[in-house]
Structure 1
């Protein structure tokens, strides 16, 4: 087994001669990716780790927050930072002095060194762990932006910072409480961590180029450079290659063709785009397991290429009067819903104004997304009970969920994080959230906050089980809107804050647990993992709010459809629509009995029964292919629509088919060496190119635009103009 020595950095083959049969994980994919030995003396929390990690993570978090407002929205992936920090760490190990320093007696007389030896795998993984939880755009940013732009409420810096910190770190405490279920058992594999472990082990075992081959790092730089220069073509010089709806160019006025094959408001049946930011918008297709990609694309084809067109072209729920795929709600006259027309002076719902104006209508893909969310809310609970009920019961009885594998045994060398640390975080940041809603008079009562944190507490184990098996997280979007929409009816700002707190707590909890498992695999001291997660997330919150403030103070026309750099805020538009549906109109008026969309509620019943036949079948035939079916993944995988369009799924699956099936099957050696490096390089090169294009060509003096056919052809189609199939009568859609 290969392992890096902490003293001289060499790679040595070590054997445990005390055991004739070497103990390892019971799962072959874990055995192939994770080392089953450890060096407890290898330094982890070094000063250079903190310096490299904080600088890279704060930079990447600022960049990702910036591009969160763009459509399509590329991002700097944690895997890219893992590759970037490798040569930096090696450089620091080469140039820093190896002198050992001692603190004064009044500071404890502790010894430390700026250079404790070669850059090692434990320092490396701590930088990655910090990045994985810190660099994503906070979900609460959506609530802040929509409150400010759409509801005209002034939001100051400290409210924004404290709201983001509270929503980010409450889930941190919840994650630690779930370790015995989601981290310590060997069956909780977390497949995305295996990717990281493979790359870490190969980087630290491969310093020299093998004869006749190329190192992963040199390959990473070559692909990054190629992606950087290539993106200038679809991103600036020939943008039609990004919106490559060639059938719509041929038939620009044929509405059904534009709706089925379009890229902007269509279902993306053309499949082809030359823009990596379009392909990877829902996640890099080189990172998902092939079986999960099949699940997701099957759900996309079934629900959005088959059922949605049937509903649309039969004009079910008056869908044909509106664009097929859109993020906006509409009124009965075909206009984007004027939310201010149904609000009073206090931003509360006005029933009289609503009855005089119009019901709220949903585009077809939006209606389908809500129906799937209704089904998922019960499907995931039933699936968890059926497939993981015994483990949950044993854990609650304080019976060991599983016998310790070799990794759990090796982790006994390190002091565990006490549960009370996590409990303090959980309750402490909940109290901070109470301070936020009370001091700034958000109209969110404390009892509502208790409900909003009870939801992720209920769903964290079901979501964690599915995430650990499939790499797909479960969202609480629907329930986190229905509950406040019912209990705090007519108050959109309160609805958004409730939703942000609930959804982000669950999302962050699963993300933190994933990194706890990664630290478990690499044998990092648990307290080191705790500190880098906490510090990285806390500091990134301040940086990201600062970037948001700068953008909204300096970038003209931000969050408008005409923004020349495509900073149109797609996620904020979806968040705004949801706040109108659930926070203003309310679930009873939108989905209650007698309403247009009432039949969607039957999906709740369907979702509860959906996992049952597959579970019964695999119980009867345990070796059948049915054992690989995960109904929550099928329902949840398409949740990015809207704002994602069909091309973001069809092109994503096409690329995934090439890399995750064809290349993996026919050239596994190349795939295992270069697949994940290719993904990180494409992400990084595209993001760097976008930054250069924005700050040198788009932003200065209103932008430098090249006006020619390749940059305008797609703007003259029914797809771009979001035309509907039917024309609304001048008197509006008839009301029943």
Structure 2
């Protein structure tokens, strides 16, 4: 492949492909839908995997297919089996472990997601240990089918990953405990969590031909773990040095993280400005950010990989996404400072950053939390009389800014995907084609065991399609049997029925028709936002728009709002993660039926242990979870945000409708539909590449990015990201191809192993915390009314 000039593609078509956009020829191309009546016979090989394998070649990576063929081997050993006792034993064990750890992280001051790399490392260590068990007799040979192979490892990782989520349904259960003095029946609660998780699984499975199988659906987040799996299991003579690099980096970061995590937490967010001036709240708001909800962390430096890579390592984020992220981040700082110091919506009477509802009696020296119980009836619905006699609650100005930009970004994303990527997602709506709807009336359509395409027809179509992932083509050519769509359809229907029954069983106040509408939104959003994540690596938060819709559909019912969100938003989030894992399975060549089994088991196990851990944490950390700042170890900010939006949107007519105080939160949805159009129009008519690079949906979301959490690590995030994706990729392509994703995996793995150990050993995950002695690098944090970075602490926070 010819090397291109750094930073530029050689044609408009290439720049569109490298950005995750469609080119003009894609937009104009007609749908290529093969006729089911045609009969194909495979006469000769159409696809040759060896010709697609360019592993390790020193070339500038410019598009998704380059990554798939240069960073990952396009070869396979079909004789390896994942159907072993060891795979199930470790898969179930790691699923329990991952679901517990992810639920712990949900109650941390910074949102952190369990890295698949972390589970890959743990699974490998235990799998290799089990392969040392003596193989005497049939029982021990059953336990240890030596050696530990890559297919077993992939099966384990997929199952653990399916469990490594914090189900949104645990948010509502935690909120009911913290704010509504309710404790739903444990059996009903567990079924609620399971059904909400599997709905997304069913939808993602049905859309896999759109979201997973094409080459352009790279899912960049997956490349580190797939690179690691290859390195661990290929011929050691080939990977010896790469393995050495991985374990050296893993060991260094494991030891290093002890320092910023426990001994020297000032390194989590070092602000030279705050060290120089420790008595100015303006500087706290702008430069502070080492504690939850402290400040924007501008120009702070972080040496803690846990926070730098809290939402994903910057080393795998595509340059296009990273650039739009940076633009949004800088605009967020300007926006938030302008809102607060311009005193818009009386912002200075409330905290700079917070997700709570506040009373109108608040002022700059005393923040008074809004008493929601005073306006709720015994059925947890809004009492309009009490609301009229009291006052409508206030939100912080920065939180309103986040809602406005996020809402604009949400609808802008739908339009952006429609304009730039219609050819990538249109197959998801193929079932609405008149010819397909006509088939619904034909008896043969419902007899799924008869008719349809033969295996040879399917094989020919796949191998002839230039847009499909070479790894998927190879699996089809080698005879891997696909999972029938009706398997996923059955999961979807069953979970839908259980979810509906659960809503009535726990007295959610959500009517059946509202439940159905929430699931319709889940399907549409998984398609649009799942495609966006697969193309760009960017995951959009759709929760605000779902809660807004719930507020107008179910006015005065905060519980109904939250349950609507459980199915409307949780289904989307879970569907995206499961589509991501389907791509992992495709790239490690795990059979579709093994993948289906692993994901089903993982989702169910994860749901159960999510609930168990939520119950434990809420019971032990009740007071901290209800406080504004929490501590540097535990925080209820996620539950606070969820409950705040539910209550606020239940009063939509008084708070967000046109003419109300926060009318722009609602109007922003309408504005979002128009935002991407000028840039698309200008690019189509001028071909100026700047307009193609600007993704307004990503920029708008990041304009509200800093509304919560630990923000001091973001500067380091961008420095590392641009170094990897710009400098290494363009000027050191050999190093980039061989080591970028592997080093990223090592950093994630070493950090999360250490953090897991410390969560229980010293941070109080299993009971009492063991704090390091207070010294200059560890001033005690918010528990002692201080900020870790020495920025001035606001006494009004209490």
TM-score (norm 1): 0.86
Structure 1 residues 362 and 690: CA distance shift in structure 2, 3 A: same
- Rounded Cα–Cα distance in structure 1 between residues aligned with 2:480 and 2:620: 49
- Rounded Cα–Cα distance in structure 2 between residues aligned with 1:202 and 1:310: 49
Partner deviation per Cα, 1:66-99 (whole Å, 9 max, x = no partner) = 2221213545411122133234334434535397
Are 2:609 and 1:539 equivalent residues in the alignment? no
Report how far residue 669 of structure 1 moved: 4.1
Q: Aligned residue for 1:105?
A: none
- Rounded Cα–Cα distance in structure 1 between residues aligned with 2:279 and 2:129: 58
Partner deviation per Cα, 1:134-174 (whole Å, 9 max, x = no partner) = 11222221111011111111233223211111111111110
Are 2:612 and 1:579 equivalent residues in the alignment? no
Contact kept, 8 Å, 2:117 with 2:224, in 1: the verdict is: no
Q: Aligned residue for 2:708?
A: 643
Q: Aligned residue for 1:186?
A: 215
Which of 615, 628, 632 in structure 2 is aligned with 1:549? Answer: 615
Q: Aligned residue for 2:6?
A: none
SS at match of 1:97: coil
Report how far residue 321 of structure 1 moved: 2.6
Q: Aligned residue for 1:629?
A: 694
- Rounded Cα–Cα distance in structure 2 between residues aligned with 1:249 and 1:608: 44
Q: Aligned residue for 2:329?
A: 300
Q: Aligned residue for 1:147?
A: 176
Report how far residue 712 of structure 1 moved: 2.8
Which of 39, 63, 79 in structure 1 is aligned with 2:101? Answer: 63
For the aligned residues, what is the CA RMSD?
A: 3.2
Are 2:596 and 1:567 equivalent residues in the alignment? no
Partner deviation per Cα, 1:643-673 (whole Å, 9 max, x = no partner) = 2343243332233234443444554444444
Q: Aligned residue for 2:473?
A: 409
Q: Aligned residue for 1:350?
A: 383
- Rounded Cα–Cα distance in structure 1 between residues aligned with 2:243 and 2:48: 37
Partner deviation per Cα, 1:38-83 (whole Å, 9 max, x = no partner) = 3333323222222222222321221221222121354541112213
Are 2:411 and 1:375 equivalent residues in the alignment? no
Which of 50, 65, 71 in structure 1 is aligned with 2:88? Answer: 50
- Rounded Cα–Cα distance in structure 1 between residues aligned with 2:420 and 2:699: 16
TM-score (norm 2): 0.80
Q: Aligned residue for 2:30?
A: none
- Rounded Cα–Cα distance in structure 1 between residues aligned with 2:235 and 2:50: 24
Q: Aligned residue for 1:439?
A: 505
SS at match of 1:588: helix
Partner deviation per Cα, 1:215-271 (whole Å, 9 max, x = no partner) = 444444444443344333333333333343442343333222221111142111132
Structure 1 residues 21 and 311: CA distance shift in structure 2, 3 A: closer
Structure 1 residues 527 and 598: CA distance shift in structure 2, 3 A: same
- Rounded Cα–Cα distance in structure 1 between residues aligned with 2:342 and 2:267: 33
Contact kept, 8 Å, 1:71 with 1:568, in 2: the verdict is: yes
Q: Aligned residue for 2:587?
A: 521
- Rounded Cα–Cα distance in structure 1 between residues aligned with 2:630 and 2:709: 18
Q: Aligned residue for 1:712?
A: 779
In structure 2, stretches of 5+ residues that fail to align are: 1-43, 54-63, 363-367, 437-460
In structure 1, stretches of 5+ residues that fail to align are: 1-15, 103-111, 726-736
Are 2:236 and 1:207 equivalent residues in the alignment? yes
- Rounded Cα–Cα distance in structure 1 between residues aligned with 2:769 and 2:226: 45
Contact kept, 8 Å, 2:500 with 2:512, in 1: the verdict is: yes
Aligned counterparts, 1:691-730, within 5 A: 691-699=756-764, 703-704=770-771, 706-712=773-779, 715-716=785-786, 721-722=793-794
- Rounded Cα–Cα distance in structure 1 between residues aligned with 2:69 and 2:265: 45
- Rounded Cα–Cα distance in structure 1 between residues aligned with 2:666 and 2:335: 17
Which of 257, 261, 276 in structure 1 is aligned with 2:287? Answer: 261
Count of equivalent residues: 695
Report how far residue 322 of structure 1 moved: 2.2
Q: Which moved more, 1:58-67 or 1:695-704?
A: 695-704
Q: Aligned residue for 2:152?
A: 123
Partner deviation per Cα, 1:459-503 (whole Å, 9 max, x = no partner) = 221112211111112332123112221222222122111112111
- Rounded Cα–Cα distance in structure 2 between residues aligned with 1:294 and 1:388: 19
Report how far residue 696 of structure 1 moved: 4.1
- Rounded Cα–Cα distance in structure 1 between residues aligned with 2:772 and 2:426: 62
Q: Aligned residue for 2:224?
A: 195
Contact kept, 8 Å, 1:564 with 1:703, in 2: the verdict is: no
Q: Aligned residue for 1:498?
A: 564
Q: Aligned residue for 2:76?
A: 38
- Rounded Cα–Cα distance in structure 2 between residues aligned with 1:540 and 1:634: 33
Q: Which moved more, 1:429-438 or 1:382-391?
A: 382-391
Aligned counterparts, 1:468-483, within 5 A: 468-483=534-549
Aligned counterparts, 1:258-297, within 5 A: 258-263=284-289, 264=291, 265-297=294-326
Are 2:394 and 1:329 equivalent residues in the alignment? no
Aligned counterparts, 1:642-681, within 5 A: 642-665=707-730, 667-681=732-746
Q: Aligned residue for 1:360?
A: 393
Structure 1 residues 198 and 230: CA distance shift in structure 2, 3 A: closer
Structure 1 residues 522 and 67: CA distance shift in structure 2, 3 A: closer
Structure 1 residues 407 and 623: CA distance shift in structure 2, 3 A: farther
Q: Which moved more, 1:38-47 or 1:325-334?
A: 38-47
Contact kept, 8 Å, 2:224 with 2:744, in 1: the verdict is: no
- Rounded Cα–Cα distance in structure 1 between residues aligned with 2:48 and 2:163: 43
- Rounded Cα–Cα distance in structure 2 between residues aligned with 1:281 and 1:720: 25
Report how far residue 529 of structure 1 moved: 0.7
Structure 1 residues 588 and 206: CA distance shift in structure 2, 3 A: farther
Are 2:456 and 1:456 equivalent residues in the alignment? no
SS at match of 1:188: coil
